[in-house]
């Protein structure tokens, strides 16, 4: 006889910090108000240089803080936390951006939706309603996004819609191609079957890669009442200068990983993806964004790879 699952499965909450201890501190404060009784928090520090480790240890002396030893990117940093959580016996791992704030019942709704299952498949990944932290009446995404393989572009479901509009969760789930990693609950069977995130992306496309690898074996789910406020973009750098340079760094990885992901899963779509990059290059020329022009040209010339 199969034993009944625990009423409150053990959930490890993983935050990755890189030069952003202030955002992480605020996120940790919001997590202390969670109504879920069986959760533990882990912070992975991606080799911060702003004193994050010392500051977080001072402010949260009981915090489990794992130094990664290097800046491993989004996937690599989260994988450090995922390995630790699995070793500690986690039933679920909640990957949460450090630049988020959560409602007290956000995790409770995620777990409840994941436990319910979907269409004959176990739920492997479950997402939240993401709200812009600076505009709390506006949705950033309803759980996840759609992906256009021919152009290599994504569209967040529900982006910019008013928060007060009713949500058809089943309709959202039918549209999901992947879940946004700012708030994503991952089940232990998913991790044991599909494996960890692919680290060669460094930033962006890891969540989509995960979803494609799991297709037909695990369902993607959405918990509309799990509300997370996202500062969007703050997690890539902690100070003003880093954030000013963020858009170039983000462009680099978003564009080159568009090619890398396409080559890995949909190589037949490479011609149209390259065409889309060519259009992006022309638009950057028109805007006189010469650093972006050079970036896109190098990506095109090197087949999506930049050393």
pLDDT value for 118 = 77
> What are the boundaries of each domain within the chain?
11-232, 240-301
Distance, CA of 102 to CA of 33 (rounded, Å): 9
The mean per-residue pLDDT over the stretch 229-240 comes to: 62
pLDDT value for 143 = 97
Distance, CA of 72 to CA of 34 (rounded, Å): 29
Residue 79 and residue 210 in contact, taking contact as beta carbons nearer than 8 Å: no
Distance, CA of 78 to CA of 61 (rounded, Å): 22
Instruction: Give 123's contacts (C-beta < 8 A, 6+ positions apart).
Output: 113, 114, 115, 116, 117, 187, 218, 219, 220, 221
pTM for the full model? 0.91
pLDDT value for 246 = 53
DSSP 220-261: EEEEEEEEEEE-SSGGG-SSHHHHHHHHHHHHHHHHHHHHHH
Residue 65 and residue 39 in contact, taking contact as beta carbons nearer than 8 Å: no
Is the CA virtual torsion 258, 172, 117, 87 positive or negative?
A: positive
User: Domain 11-232 is of which CATH architecture?
Assistant: Alpha-Beta Complex (3.90)
Q: pLDDT by residue (tens digit) across 40-76?
A: 999 999 999 999 999 999 999 999 999 999 999 999 9
List Cα–Cα distances, 96 to 35, 171, 251, in angstroms.
17, 24, 22
**Judging by DSSP bridges, how do beta strands 92-96 and 139-142 pair with one another?**
unpaired
The mean per-residue pLDDT over the stretch 236-262 comes to: 70
């Amino acid at each position: 006889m199969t034993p009944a699952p625990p009423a409150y499965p053990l959930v490890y909450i993983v935050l990755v910090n890189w030069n952003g201890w202030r955002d992480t501190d605020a996120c940790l404060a919001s997590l202390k108000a969670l109504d879920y009784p069986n959760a533990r928090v882990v912070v992975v520090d991606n080799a911060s240089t702003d004193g994050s480790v010392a500051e977080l240890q001072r402010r949260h002396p009981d915090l489990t803080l794992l130094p990664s030893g290097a800046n491993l990117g989004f996937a690599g940093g989260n994988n450090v936390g995922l390995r630790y959580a699995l070793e500690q016996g986690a039933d679920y791992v909640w990957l949460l951006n450090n630049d988020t704030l959560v409602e007290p019942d956000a995790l409770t709704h995620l777990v409840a939706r994941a436990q319910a299952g979907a269409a004959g498949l176990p739920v492997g990944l479950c997402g939240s309603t993401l709200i812009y932290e600076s505009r709390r009446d506006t949705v950033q995404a309803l759980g996840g996004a759609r992906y256009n393989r021919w152009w290599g572009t994504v569209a967040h479901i529900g982006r910019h819609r008013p928060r007060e509009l009713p949500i058809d969760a089943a309709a959202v789930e039918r549209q999901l191609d992947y879940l946004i990693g700012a708030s994503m609950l991952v089940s232990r069977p998913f991790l044991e079957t599909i494996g960890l995130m692919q680290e060669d992306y460094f930033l962006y496309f890891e969540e989509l890669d995960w979803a494609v690898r799991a297709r037909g074996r695990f369902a993607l789910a959405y918990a509309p009442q799990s509300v997370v406020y996202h500062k969007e973009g703050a997690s890539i750098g902690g100070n003003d200068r880093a954030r000013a340079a963020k858009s170039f760094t983000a462009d680099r990885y978003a564009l080159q990983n568009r090619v890398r992901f396409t080559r890995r899963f949909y190589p037949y779509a490479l011609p149209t993806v390259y065409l889309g990059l060519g259009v992006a290059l022309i638009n950057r020329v028109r805007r006189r964004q010469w650093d972006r022009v050079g970036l896109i040209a190098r990506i095109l010339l090197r087949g999506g790879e930049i050393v």
